[in-house]
Amino acid sequence: MVRIVVPKGVFADCASVEYCTLVKAAEATQRAGGTHFMLLPGHGGPTQRGYAYIKVFTLAPGEDAPSGTMSVEEALYFFRRRPGQAAS
């Protein structure tokens, strides 16, 4: 498990606080050498104000991802804005 800081606002590279949280989780998973992650419940609540916990998975090619996990590549592709991408 890895603890990440939950963004308080929207950054230039994502469209919403929720998307920024997923981008930060994907980046932390990538730094830890993982391929998939699961954002654990409770982030943003009274007991986890300002941070979240993620569970990191490292899957071999062709291995099925556990239910509820998100691919690092997919999260970064779909939730991170690319330079020059218009704000929505």
Taking all residues of the chain, what is their mean pLDDT, rounded to a whole number? 83
Confidence at 46, pLDDT banded by 50, 70, 90: low
- For the chain, the three-class secondary structure string (H helix, E strand, C coil) is CEEEECCCCCCCCCCCHHHHHHHHHHHHHHHCCCCEEEECCCCCCCCCCCEEEEEEECCCCCCCCCCCCEEHHHHHHHHCCCCCCCCC
Structure-block tokens of residue 65: 């991802």
Q: What is the pTM of this model?
A: 0.81
Model pLDDT for residues 13-39, shown as the tens digit of each residue: 777 878 888 999 999 999 999 999 999
Q: Which residues of 56-71 are buried (b: 16+ CB within 10 A; e: fewer)?
A: bbeeeeeeeeeeebbb
